[in-house]
Structure 1
């Protein structure tokens, strides 16, 4: 770091490294391990370099969370592109994404940052804005009580998985995904 001023400036790469290192610290050591110094050290920059990109720890955490939401959006978009049935398409993609995260288990950055999301108003706002935006965009195809129940059930599976990570025997939830997908494929009652 002594020759940092001689390095070629690549702010996008530095920012990406800071986001990735923060997520990795959360996965490897838990959210409590995320400090400005720990992230700066892991990314090979000074604390001042980190603070050039993110004003404080909260801004860094929110940027990591926003980055995870972008990844979730991309994943859901991929699932939606593969689904030819318009009705319930977003909900089925949401379920698939929830179960894909379930299959990742404790290695998932979502698992590491979930507790922070529940306790932090800024993170909850980011999540709520993300979900509200997607629900508004898919109102024509995914705005029924049954599809809302399916999405809430997927959230419940995700939360149960998170809360049960310390269980000696993990719950077998493999049969739930096809059931939720089947419910999300039912046409609305006439």
Structure 2
């Protein structure tokens, strides 16, 4: 296949995924393959060439969204930080004000709830969960701290999407606290006799 053919294929696939995600956010899983094809500017048969079924398309939307979120977090990693917790701090920055798209990803109105019953979705979610477990295990912070900070950031992103539970000032305060918690653990010193 020529380079132009590969680029066209990638552009078509991206257009279909973007249209499907937009329509899923607007209408939920009631959206049809024909509607997605029309919104993407491709024929239904063209869409089915890339995604052989509606379920395959919806799974691809989920995988694409998870990958975009991962990429967004990695863009927030500060390469100049040479200490434990760099990725966890990037995760906090991404979810707590660094990326509106990522914050929307964890909102209660996100499409994830409607996709959870989709055949194959458990595999997609399990792979994503395993990915993040590995990343945070290699990030250098104790597991308990990483778990608390990670899930607190997700909860803050969720709360920020439902006004008035968390305003911008409160989100900034919470973000600062989580970033501090995502810093390296200071070694404990034991006071000896006569200290």
Tell me if TM exceeds 0.5. Answer: yes
Query: Paired residues, what number?
Result: 177
Which secondary structure does the structure 1 equivalent of 2:42 belong to? coil
**TM-score w.r.t. length of structure 1:** 0.76
- Specify which of 47, 51, 62 is matched with residue 48 of structure 2: 51
Whole-angstrom distance in 1 between the partners of 2:119 and 2:151: 20
Which secondary structure does the structure 2 equivalent of 1:80 belong to? coil
RMSD: 2.9
Distance 1:42 1:109, change over 3 A: farther
- Specify which of 61, 75, 83 is matched with residue 64 of structure 1: 61
Distance 1:52 1:100, change over 3 A: farther
Q: What residue in structure 1 maps to residue 126 of structure 2? A: 128
Q: What residue in structure 2 maps to residue 5 of structure 1? A: none
Which secondary structure does the structure 2 equivalent of 1:133 belong to? helix
The answer as to whether partners of 2:58 and 2:115 remain within 8 angstroms in 1 is no
Whole-angstrom distance in 2 between the partners of 1:114 and 1:188: 38
**TM-score w.r.t. length of structure 2:** 0.75
Q: What residue in structure 2 maps to residue 153 of structure 1? A: 152
| Deviation larger for 13-22 or 114-123 | 114-123
Measured after TM superposition, the shift of residue 82 of structure 1 is 3.8
Q: What residue in structure 1 maps to residue 19 of structure 2? A: 21
Map Cα deviations across residues 92-138 of structure 1 (whole Å, 9 max, x no partner): 111122224774599x4664323235555643532331232232144
Measured after TM superposition, the shift of residue 18 of structure 1 is 0.2
Whole-angstrom distance in 2 between the partners of 1:181 and 1:70: 23
Distance 1:103 1:72, change over 3 A: closer
Structure 1: gaps (5+ residues): 1-7
Larger radius of gyration: 2
- Specify which of 77, 96, 100 is matched with residue 99 of structure 1: 96
**Structure with the larger helix share:** 1
